[in-house]
Structure 1
Amino acid sequence: MADRPQKLLTPGPTSVPPSVLRALSKPVLHHRSPDFAAVFELAQERLREVFRTENEVLVFTSSGTGAFESAVVNLLSPGDRVLAVSQGEFGERWQAMARAFGCDVVPLTYPWGEAPRPAGLREALAESGAATAFIVHSETSTGVVCDLEPLLAVCREEGVLSVVDAVSSLGAVPLETDAWGADVVVTGSQKALMTPPGLAFAAVSDRAWERTVEATLPRFYWDWARQRRAQAKRSTPFTPPTSTVVALVEALGLVLEGGLDAAFARHRALGRACRAGIKSIGLELYSPEDDSAAVLTGALTPEGIDAVELRLALRDRHGITIAGGHGDLVSRLFRIGHIGHVTIDDIAEALGAIEVELREAGADVEPGRAAPAAFEAFGSVAAAG
């Protein structure tokens, strides 16, 4: 593997802005010091702004999966029936997790690449009798970002507690935790929040807190009540990655500086630019061909060209890391992330490198088309907005 620095164009981890790296390099704070307490309090304030919630946002030292496990063990009891909606790799992961804890999982499974629909969710909830529903907002295995608001409306109307996987969506696309009535929303630091991996968050509604009283699955590290008591004192029950929290405060400041709506518009524009560049060289899109695909763009290589080899060439010869496919699509699908600290220049550079490597592999690709198409699409969005 080449040791050259890599530009990350993946759905996570994402590249980190220079000011965030500088914050990360400051002297380490003690986790029980007044200095860290002030930083942690500011982190919580900014997290509530990004989540668009007045509720408690719990902070864990873990990946996003850890925050999701915290939802399982704090909300459920052995044998509880839960509806787990899946339209890709990560929906299937949440089904497997709930089963691992002895829950009665009713899967609502859509073909990869499709988005869940309110009518299907309502019917499945009525048939299953489940009192909890797991929903993936942004399914990064396919690039599909579901229309979350009407799905949450169904959960509220049916009296069902909603748990939302927003690991790759929060800060990249609209998500109104309180206004849409989400009960639990989980995410991680390493995606659109532009912070190194290591932190995960769970925004918890009053309804969800009420459920924790009756839930009996064992928890210790993931105990929301323990975490909440510590956070009330501007602290955590266990040692957090203090330097990463310092970096998080800086990153959240950057996210909020221009306003969340501007961040959403930038991600939409980058998605349009990436799709335009991909289509200009004749490749087939795998992710949706609309603005719901603001998190990443998935595309298929031409027949006979291995996507794995393409990714390795981009990494080793160009210093660009993109993501691969899952399951049966591993040899054809590649995914370009455009969330977090990504610019139109980064997208254009990656598309140009893809052209070079596809030609090298024998594809009939005319060089020099993708970057201009991307710039044109990005500029048209900027001019309109």
Structure 2
Amino acid sequence: MDGKQMLMIPGPTPVPERVLLAMAQHPIGHRTSEYSKIQAEVTENLNWLHQTQHNVQMLVSSGTGAMEAGIINVLSAGDRVVCCSNGKFGDRWVKVCQAYGLNVEIVTAEWGKPLDTEQIREKLESDSEKTIKAVILTHSETSTGALNDLETINKHVKAHGEALIIVDAVTSLGAYNIPIDDWGLDIVASGSQKGYMIPPGLGFVAVGPKAWEAYKTATLPRFYLDLGKYRKATADNSSPFTPPVNLVFGLCEALRMMKAEGLESIFARHQRLTTATRAAVKALGLQPFAPDEAASTAVTAVLGGDADAEKIRSLLKKRFDIALAGGQDHLKGQIFRIGHLGFVGDRDILAAIGALEAVLVELGSAGAATGAGITAAAKVFAGQA
């Protein structure tokens, strides 16, 4: 049936009808009092979502642009940084740092495994001269479904005393509890097409007081991504450059929906969906790629077992019009990824798991048993598992 595609990928995520309708309004001038009122509400609710008293800066970019902005506004060429990588997006931050001439030291972990927090602690403690300027990491590694222990890593950074912590929270902001002010996080970057429930096009950067101090002496080149310009404009309920007005309309509505649901409920829902998804795939004889203790609440990566992961994805799309994400780089064909981020509920998981069961049975997967996945997920939703 045409027009019934179901997005179950970690971004872009499904967009609520309320948000789509808000975006369908006629645009207005971005230098008008009407727009300023919307900007003021958006800023207030972004601060609420980020759990910070400091205005979150909104950029016209993807999450990658937000992360790049975070780096270039607080660092200088030649600065020593520790860049953590255990997946494709950790690798990306290494490349961004190297592109700007930073002195990059890489801490790695096998794809699918969380970062070893002790490795990071040891590197920071051995820095007796306090030359490390920043520790940079991806919180929820979208490529593998692994969640890194941000809270512990942040404690080690704080014990160092000088280094900033710069966080890619693109698929964890809005899906996992990140109390930015309570933890004292310095830079947290995210993107609109994930937990915010709107289409791609906006990036967000939360900047703490220590990062703003570093901004004063940072010398990497910046213009369009100069966060100081955004800070001044945001304080005036404006934007330094032309914003995508209709996307901001959608963001305003999405944030209202999130505020009505409440932070605790949002985080609990994402955890419930994660638990149900992992229980279901295990019941179908498949294995989540990341361990239970490091499971992302945004996406579950699954090993294809005795069926090719790309065949599973292709058949799901062809037969049921359900889109799952594939493996990236060397994991292509080995894993598929089920997104459960943003505007996703229990019904979506049950539908996706039911379709997955049917596909596995059709492909003759050894562990597939009709009803096993649905039963496992239903027990989680019923509070029985």
TM-score class, shorter: over 0.9
Aligned to 2:107: 108
Q: Distance in 2 between matches of 1:344 and 1:38?
A: 35
**Alignment correspondent of 2:379:** 376
Residues 70 and 248 of structure 1: CA distance in aligned 2, closer, same or farther (over 3 Å): same
What CA distance in whole angstroms lies between the structure 2 residues aligned with 1:186 and 1:215? 18
Q: Which residue of 1 aligns with 2:154?
A: 152
Question: Kindly, what percent of the aligned residue pairs are identical?
Answer: 41
Question: What is the Cα deviation at residue 105 of structure 1?
Answer: 0.6
Alignment match, 2:336: 334
Residue 135 of structure 1 is matched in structure 2 by 137
Report the 3-state secondary structure (helix = DSSP H, G, I; strand = E; otherwise coil) of the residue aligned with 2:300. Answer: strand
Distance in 2 (CA, whole Å) between partners of 1:291 and 1:125 is: 23
Q: Report if the CA contact (8 A) 2:7-2:322 is conserved.
A: yes
Is it true that 1:348 corresponds to 2:347 in the alignment? no
Check the 8 A contact 2:113/2:290 in 1, yes or no.
no
Q: Aligned residue pairs: how many?
A: 380
Equivalents in 2 of 1:317, 1:33: separation in Å? 49
8 Å Cα contact 2:114/2:294 also seen in 1: no
CA distance in 1, matches of 2:68, 2:261: 33
Paired position in structure 2 for 1:266: 269
Superposition map of 1:1-16 within 5 A: 4-16=3-15
Residue from 293, 310, 313 that aligns with 2:312: 310
Matches within 5 A, 1:46-57: 46-57=45-56
Q: Which residue of 2 aligns with 1:125?
A: 124
Runs of 4+ in 1 over 6 A off after TM superposition: none
Structure 1 unmatched ranges of 5 or more: none
Q: Match of 2:22?
A: 23
SS in structure 2 opposite 1:157? helix
Structure 1, 126-135 or 329-338: larger mean CA deviation = 126-135
**Alignment correspondent of 1:228:** 231
The residue that corresponds to 1:64 in the other structure is 63
- Taking the aligned partners of 1:74 and 1:242, their CA distance within structure 2 comes to 25
1:281 aligns with 2:281: no
SS at match of 2:279: helix
CA contact (8 A) 1:194 1:340 kept: yes
Deviations 1:331-369 (CA, angstroms, capped at 9, x unpaired) = 120110111111111111111111222222232322222
Q: Equivalent residue of 1:163, what SS?
A: strand
3-state DSSP of counterpart to 1:102: coil
Q: TM-score, normalised by structure 1?
A: 0.95
Q: Distance in 1 between matches of 2:102 and 2:315?
A: 43
SS at 1:83 equivalent: strand
| Partner Cα separation in structure 1 for residue 44 and residue 378 of structure 2 | 36
AA aligned to 1:25 is A
- Residue identity in the other structure for 2:71: V
